[in-house]
């Protein structure tokens, strides 16, 4: 169940920008990957599962991910053809979370502040609209060290 933020007294307006997993759960958001959130957003956007496939808003940042899979990580034999088609439509490789955040930005007419303070908490994209994503596992010290090593190797 999604509750209206204004009627929820346990979460202050100050903390609305980024919420913990537990706080999101209280608002009715179950943990899910950004890809699934895009899929739910798309179904909502066109009012039906069957219409998502035929969405004609090809410039929407969520378009490449609308069917619930990531074409940039696909192992399908037609991957090259799909990526070439997406490139023709103006899409560049990005993660589902990045695409979702661009869709939010578009929804808020390009105003990042408005995205941060978005009050549409029932939107499946809401938990992901800012930051690294609420369900992201914190990176370990070993991962941080590996990233530092990779950065020092880059030209």
Interface ranges with ligand SF4 (CB under 6 A): 41-42, 45-46, 52, 55, 57, 60, 62-63, 66, 103
Q: How far apart are CA 26 and CA 108, in angstroms?
A: 25
Report residue 91 as tokens.
């899409």
DSSP 3-state of 114:
helix
Q: Whole-number minimum distance, CB 19 to ligand SF4, in Å?
A: 23
| Whole-number Cα distances in Å, 88 to 13, 81, 122, 137 | 42, 11, 33, 34
Contact 135, 32 (CB under 8 A): yes
Q: Measured from the CB atom, is 16 or 107 closer to ligand SF4?
A: 107
Taking the least distance from each CB to ligand SF4, the nearer of 41 and 97 is: 41
Q: How far is the CB of 63 from ligand SF4 (least distance, A)?
A: 4
Comparison of 11 and 130: residue with beta carbon closer to ligand SF4: 130
Q: How far is the CB of 104 from ligand SF4 (least distance, A)?
A: 10
């Amino acid at each position: 169940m999604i509750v209206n933020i204004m009627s929820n007294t346990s979460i202050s307006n100050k903390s609305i920008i980024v919420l913990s997993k537990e706080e999101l759960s209280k608002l009715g958001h179950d943990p899910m990957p950004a890809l699934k959130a895009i899929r739910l957003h798309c179904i909502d956007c066109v009012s039906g599962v069957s219409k998502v496939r035929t969405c004609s808003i090809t410039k929407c940042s969520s378009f490449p991910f609308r069917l619930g899979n990531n074409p940039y990580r696909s192992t399908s034999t037609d991957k090259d053809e799909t990526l070439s088609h997406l490139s023709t439509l103006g899409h560049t490789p990005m993660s589902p979370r990045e695409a979702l955040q661009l869709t939010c930005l578009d929804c808020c007419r390009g105003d990042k502040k408005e995205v941060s303070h978005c009050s549409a908490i029932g939107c499946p994209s809401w938990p992901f609209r800012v930051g690294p994503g609420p369900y992201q596992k914190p990176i370990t010290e070993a991962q941080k060290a590996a990233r530092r090593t990779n950065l020092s190797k880059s030209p």
